[in-house]
Structure 1
Amino acid sequence: MYFAALLARTEDGWEASDTELDDVETLSDLADLAREAAPEEDTVLVLIEQEDAWFGVVRIDGEEDPRIYVSDAAAAARSSYGEILLTDELLGREPGDDVPDLDALVDLDGTEDGEDEDEEDDDTESGGTSAEAVPHGPVGDASVLDDLGVSEKELKALSADAVTEIAEALGASEVLETVR
């Protein structure tokens, strides 16, 4: 089960809103959605969690690029919402690294089983599979909440109920509960 919420910091404190991610296909879409929730280029946090598997924090400050932290990239990679957060940049790879070489697939004639092992090794080194490209464990900016009272060490140590724990640390647990 997933839960996603937006927390927008305003002059009066944090405002929370439940967010539907069904129409969000890219990180850019998510950032636009978050910016719409902020009355004036205030800080907006998008908190996403999949029960007992992983959580993600996306921070948008005005028009700056989103800052992202994902607690377990491998678990998030198996989730459509997690895939939105796991950009090539976040994973430290060039765009398309885990995409198969389509030109090589065009010339398949059914005799590929007899190819040299050296050629197979070259394919693995050049692209690899998406499972190899996504590390187990946290990725991204672990200091994303430092100035808001959640240190890098605390963020990395959060439990399965991370979204609630983050909201408590921010003083936003009551507003988050209203949308949960």
Structure 2
Amino acid sequence: MYFAALLARTEDGWEASDTELDDVETLSDLTDLAREATAGGSDDETVLVFIEQEDAWFGIVRVDGEEDPRIYLSDAAAAARSSYGEILLTDELLGREPGAAEELDALEELVDLDGTEDGEPDDEADESDDESVLSGEAVPSGPIGDRQILTDLGMSEKELLSLGTEALSDIAEALGAAEVLETVR
């Protein structure tokens, strides 16, 4: 089960809204959704997008005005197994050349390298492997992204890295936005 919410910092404090991610297919779509949350407000407002998959991982996307979004994921490998997590696992975040995933996908379509090209079943394939693969490359287990994403808002890198399954509530508490987040939970 997923939970997603937007927290926008305005001159009057934090405003929260839950959000549906059904129409979000790319990081750009998510960034646009965050920027729309401040419609009518200042272009330099901070918007945080929280995405949480129950007991598996959480992610934060921070959008400050027109700047590129900043991303933090609590567990990249767990997020890679999620459609919403895959949106956040960009080439830049994973330290790959931009477009590398698309090139790998195109090559895999042209050449089948798994030994089953003659229609033989792949007995070695096991979906429960601990090593996550996103577009042919291993995704690291554990936190990935901007660990200082909330430092200027009152949560240190150390605090962020120590969060557990109730992460979003703990983050909202540290930011002074617990009450507004609870209204949309």
Q: Which residue of 2 aligns with 1:57?
A: 60
Q: TM-score with structure 1 length normalisation?
A: 0.84
- Match status 1:36 vs 2:40: no
Q: TM-score with structure 2 length normalisation?
A: 0.82
Q: Which residue of 2 aligns with 1:119?
A: none
- Output the amino acid matched with 2:48: L
The counterpart of 1:138, out of the listed 138, 143, 146, is: 143
Runs of 4+ in 1 over 2 A off after TM superposition: 95-108, 110-113, 128-133
Please show how residues 1-180 of structure 1 align to structure 2 within 5 Å. Answer: 1-38=1-38, 39-41=41-43, 42-99=45-102, 100=104, 102-103=106-107, 105-106=109-110, 130=135, 132-180=137-185
Cα–Cα, structure 1 residues 134 and 175, in superposed 2: closer, same or farther, change >3 Å?
A: same
Bigger Rg over Cα: 1
- Output the amino acid matched with 1:21: L
Pairs aligned (count): 165
Shift of 1:13: 0.5
Distance 2:5 2:149 in 1: 17
CA RMSD of aligned residues (A): 2.2
Preserved CA contact (<8 Å) 2:91 2:101: no
Q: Which has the higher helix share?
A: 1
Q: Determine helix, strand or coil for the equivalent of 1:179.
A: coil
Shift of 1:130: 4.0
Shift of 1:98: 4.2
Q: Name stretches of at least 5 consecutive residues in structure 2 with no aligned partner.
A: 119-132
Shift of 1:137: 0.5
Distance 1:161 1:47 in 2: 12
Distance 1:18 1:56 in 2: 15
Distance 2:64 2:25 in 1: 21
Q: Name stretches of at least 5 consecutive residues in structure 1 with no aligned partner.
A: 114-127
Distance 1:142 1:22 in 2: 27
